[in-house]
Chains A and B, each alone.
Chain A
Amino acid sequence: MPLWTYRGLKAGVKTTPWPLDEVVGASGLPEPITDACPDGCEQCVTSCPTSAITHDGALTLDQGACVGCNLCVEVCPSGVLKLSSRPTQAAAGRDTLIRRFGVEEASPTKLRPEGDARRMRKSLFVRHVDAGSCNGCESEIGALDNPYYNLHRFGIFFTPSPRFADVLLVTGPVTNPMHEPLKATYEAMPRPNFVVATGVCAISGGTNGGGYSARQGIGDVLPVDLWVPGCPPHPVVLIEALLALIGRER
C-alpha cells in the first residue's frame, strides 16, 4: 500500500488544465469549406447513413444525427466538405443542433436550460442509464473519472442511486426492454432535475435506432434539457455539457 502512495506522489498531477487549449482526437463533424456545390449534386445526401445531411438551396447538417463517419466528405466530387477539427457542442434545444450552412449561421445559443433546475449552481450528482448504447458512450463517460479529465475537480460525481441524482445521463436509442426501466429511473429522481441525451443514438437513434426493437432516441420518452452530439461525444464535450447545466465554464 505505501508503495502505491509513493508511486502516486511521484507521478505528480496528471490532470489537464481547464479549459483545454487543444483537444486530442476531437472527432469533429463535416462542414463546408467552400460554397462550390454544383447544381443538382446530392452525393453527400445519398451517402449519409443516418440522413443527417439535406440540401435544399443550402447544405444542412443535423448534428444530432451525424455520426462523423466521413462518408460525405469522401464522396464529395468538388471538395466542398471537410471534417472539422472542432469537437461537437451540446445544445439546449433539439432544433439548435441543426446547422444550416451559408444562409444564416446560427449564433452560439445559450446552453443553460430554462426552468427550476437553474437554482443548481455548484455541485452535481449524475446517474447514468444505458438505454441500448454500443458502449462507446460508456467508454467515454467512464473516461471522465480518469486522472486526465478528473471530473471530481468540478464537484461533479456519479451516483449509483437516482434518489441522489440531479442529472440523468442517458445513452442509446431506448430499446424496448429498457423503456420502462428508464422511465422508472427518471420517476425515482427528485425534482428539479436535468435530463441529458448523450450521443447520437439518444438524440435521434443514429445508426442503431428504430426497427423492431428500439426507438429513435429519448426525445419522446423523457423531457430532455440538454442534447450532447457525437458518436460518441468526446470527454471534453461531456465536461462542457455538464458544466453548462450549472452555468459554469470552469
Chain B
Amino acid sequence: MYPSREMTIDDPAELATVLAGIVVDPDASPRTYHRLQALWARQRADDIELSYLASGASGEPFHLWRLVVNPRVAVPSLSPLIPLAGSYEREVRDLYGVDFVGATDNRRLIFHDASAMQTPSVAQRESDLSEGFTIKSPDLQLLRFGPVRADVVESARFAFSYAGEGIVHLETQLFYKHRGMEMRFEGLTPARGAILAERVSGVDSVAHAMAFALACEHAVGLEVPERARALRVMLAELERIYNHLHYFGLLAKLTTLKVADAEGHYLEELAKQTNASITGNRFLRGLIVPGGLRRDLDVNGLEVALAELEDRVQSYLEVLNKTRSYLDRIETTGILETHVALAQGATGPIERASGLDRDLRRDHPYSGYERYHFVVPDARSGDARARALIREYELFASFAILRQVLDHLDDGPVHTTREVPSDQGETEGLGWVEGTRGTLIYAVYLENGRLSRVKIKEPSFSNWRVFPYTVDGTNMMDYAINEASFGLSLAGNDR
C-alpha cells in the first residue's frame, strides 16, 4: 500500500491522456502540486514496469501511475508536455533500453561518450524556451571545462559558448561520477542498505539514510518508536546546518571576502565538531537504519552548543548582509524565473527562491515534522541573493526545530522490536525527505526481506537540469558565484 493514489495504465498510447492532470500549462498560474516528481523503471520478468510519480496538494497523497511494457514497444515521450520528464526518460533509456517516441532530446545521458562532446547542440536543447534557437556564428568561442576542474570540487564537464565576457550558451555533461549506486542495493538486506545509502552523497548522508529507511519501513510495515523519530529529525536538521554554513563560506570566498570566507568555513567546522561530539561521526553516519536508530544518543550539552553556534551564525550573517561588495555580486545574479523553475523541476531552496512555496516537511510531513513549528521561507526574485536568503531563514528554522526536539525528547526505545520479515513475498515502499538540497525520494522493492530494486530521486538531479537556464545570457564573472548559489551535489546527481 502506497501513501499514494495508484493507477495502472494499460495502453502506452493513453499515457498523455491519463497524465493530463500533471501537464505543465505555461499560461496557468504556477502551482506547486500535481507536478511530476520522478519516473523510474524496473525489470519485471521480460517486461519493464514504468512508474510515474507526482506530488499531491499539501496534505494529500502522492499519485503513482504504472505502465508495464514490452521493452521493444515504444512509449510516447512526455517531454513535449512536461519538460522535466526529459531527464528521467533519458536515464530510463540508458539503463533499461526503453525507447521514448517524440522526445525533445534523444542524446544519451548517463553513458555518454565522454570524448564525443562536440559543439553544443542548442537546437536539441530539451527546452520549451530555446525552440528555434541555434548558434552559428564565427564570433563565438567554445570553452571546454572539466571534468578535472579548478580547486577541490567534484568532477563534471561544461562547454561554454561565449563572446568576450558574455556566455551565450552553457552545455553540461555530467555523470562522470556514475557509480551505479541504485544497482548496488540489489540483494542487500535493508539494514545493510542503510550503510550504502549514507554513501550516495556524503554531505547528504542523513537525508539519504532517512529516505531509504522510511521507504523500507513503509514497504514492510515497521513502526518506528517516538524517540527515534525525534532523533532522526535532530540529525536531519544538524545536517542542514553544516551544509548551509558551508554554502555561506563558499559564497563569501567567491565574492573575495577573505575573512568572511574563513569565518563561514570555521562555523561549518564547529557544526561538524558538534555533530561528532554527539554522534561520533562528523557526517552523522552510522545511526539511521530501517526500524529506528542503531543506538541511542546522549544529547547532553547539545542545546548549549547549538545556542552558542546560533549566536555566532547570527552575528556572522548580520555583517555579511551589510557587506555591499558581497550583495553587489549576488543580487540579480543567475535569475531563475518561476515558470522555468516549475517546468524544469527545480526543487528545495532553489524553487523556494523562485516563488514556488513548497517544503515536504510542511506539506507531506514525515518522522513527526507536523509537531514542530517552523517557517518555510519563499522569495520571488529567483537570483543568487534570494537563494542565499532562503538558506539563511532555513538555518534559523533548523535551530528552532532543534530547540523543540530537545525540549520534548522523551526517553524510550530507539529501535522497533520487529524484524524485517523474510517471508513476505514482494513488497514496495516509498520514502521522502526534504533534504538540504530539496526533495529526495527513495522507492524500494523488497522480495522476501531483500532489496530487489531501489530508485533514488535526488534533488541535485532536478536542480542540475535547471541550472543551465540561469547561465545563458549572463557573464563569465558571475558563473562561479551562480553555481555556488545553487549548492549542487554531483555525487548525488550522478549516483
Residues of A bordering B, CB below 8 Å: 1, 3-5, 7-8, 11, 14, 24-25, 27, 49, 67-71, 74, 83, 128-143, 145-149, 158, 160, 162, 172-173, 175-178, 180-182, 184-185, 206-208, 211-214, 231-232, 234
Residues of B bordering A, CB below 8 Å: 112, 114-115, 147-155, 175-181, 183-184, 191-192, 195-196, 199-203, 205, 246, 249, 257-260, 262-263, 265-266, 268-269, 272-273, 275-277, 280-283, 285-286, 294, 319, 322-323, 325, 489-492, 494
User: With the chains together, A14 CA to B259 CA distance in Å?
Assistant: 12
Residues of B within 8 A of A135 (CB): 154, 201-203, 489-492
Q: Tell me if B266 and A146 are in contact (CB < 8 A).
A: yes
Q: Tell me if B196 and A49 are in contact (CB < 8 A).
A: yes
- Indicate which residue in B195, B205, B249, B257 contacts A207 across the interface (CB closer than 8 Å): B195
Q: Tell me if A177 and B491 are in contact (CB < 8 A).
A: no
User: With the chains together, A218 CA to B231 CA distance in Å?
Assistant: 38
Given known pairs A24-B276, A177-B114, the reply for A130 and B177 (CB within 8 Å) is yes
Residues of B within 8 A of A14 (CB): 262, 266
CB distance from B187 to the nearest CB of A (A): 12
Residues of A within 8 A of B275 (CB): 25
Residues of A within 8 A of B202 (CB): 133-139, 232
Q: Tell me if A213 and B184 are in contact (CB < 8 A).
A: no
Residues of B within 8 A of A141 (CB): 152
Closest to B267 in A: A146
Residues of B within 8 A of A24 (CB): 273, 276-277
CB distance from B298 to the nearest CB of A (A): 15
Given known pairs A25-B277, A138-B153, A208-B184, the reply for A4 and B203 (CB within 8 Å) is no
User: With the chains together, A14 CA to B276 CA distance in Å?
Assistant: 19
Q: Tell me if B179 and A208 are in contact (CB < 8 A).
A: yes
8 contacts between A and B (CB under 8 A): A1-B325, A130-B154, A134-B200, A138-B152, A145-B152, A184-B148, A185-B148, A212-B183
CB distance from A233 to the nearest CB of B (A): 11
Q: Tell me if B155 and A130 are in contact (CB < 8 A).
A: yes
CB distance from B76 to the nearest CB of A (A): 29
Q: Tell me if B179 and A211 are in contact (CB < 8 A).
A: yes
Given known pairs A25-B277, A27-B281, A136-B203, the reply for A131 and B266 (CB within 8 Å) is no
Given known pairs A135-B203, A212-B180, the reply for A3 and B319 (CB within 8 Å) is yes
User: With the chains together, A214 CA to B203 CA distance in Å?
Assistant: 21
User: With the chains together, A83 CA to B295 CA distance in Å?
Assistant: 14
Residues of A within 8 A of B269 (CB): 143, 146-149
Residues of A within 8 A of B114 (CB): 177, 180-181
What are the 9 A-B residue pairs with the smallest beta carbon separation, nearest first?
A25-B276, A136-B202, A160-B150, A146-B265, A8-B259, A4-B259, A134-B202, A135-B491, A213-B180
Given known pairs A143-B272, A177-B114, A213-B178, the reply for A49 and B192 (CB within 8 Å) is yes
Residues of B within 8 A of A5 (CB): 259
Residues of A within 8 A of B494 (CB): 132
Q: Tell me if B323 and A4 are in contact (CB < 8 A).
A: yes
Residues of A within 8 A of B489 (CB): 135
CB distance from A187 to the nearest CB of B (A): 12
Q: Tell me if A74 and B490 are in contact (CB < 8 A).
A: no
User: With the chains together, A138 CA to B203 CA distance in Å?
Assistant: 9
CB distance from B2 to the nearest CB of A (A): 29
Residues of B within 8 A of A3 (CB): 319, 322-323
Q: Tell me if B154 and A138 are in contact (CB < 8 A).
A: yes
User: With the chains together, A234 CA to B282 CA distance in Å?
Assistant: 9
Closest to B294 in A: A74
Residues of B within 8 A of A207 (CB): 184, 195-196, 199
Q: Tell me if A175 and B286 are in contact (CB < 8 A).
A: no
Given known pairs A49-B196, A143-B265, A213-B180, the reply for A160 and B153 (CB within 8 Å) is no
Q: Tell me if B262 and A146 are in contact (CB < 8 A).
A: yes
Residues of A within 8 A of B178 (CB): 132, 175-177, 213
Residues of B within 8 A of A146 (CB): 249, 262, 265-266, 268-269
Residues of B within 8 A of A4 (CB): 257-260, 319, 323
- Indicate which residue in B179, B272, B322 contacts A175 across the interface (CB closer than 8 Å): B179
CB distance from A133 to the nearest CB of B (A): 6
Closest to B282 in A: A25
Q: Tell me if A177 and B181 are in contact (CB < 8 A).
A: no
Residues of A within 8 A of B282 (CB): 25, 27, 140, 234
Closest to B202 in A: A136
Q: Tell me if B151 and A158 are in contact (CB < 8 A).
A: yes
CB distance from B242 to the nearest CB of A (A): 9
CB distance from B319 to the nearest CB of A (A): 6
Q: Tell me if B263 and A178 are in contact (CB < 8 A).
A: no
Residues of B within 8 A of A70 (CB): 286, 294
- Indicate which residue in B150, B195, B259, B266 contacts A49 across the interface (CB closer than 8 Å): B195
Given A27-B281, A131-B155, A208-B199: 15 more A-B contacts, CB < 8 Å: A3-B323, A25-B276, A25-B280, A67-B195, A83-B280, A128-B151, A133-B177, A135-B202, A143-B265, A143-B269, A145-B152, A146-B266, A172-B177, A178-B176, A211-B184
- Indicate which residue in B195, B262, B272 contacts A25 across the interface (CB closer than 8 Å): B272
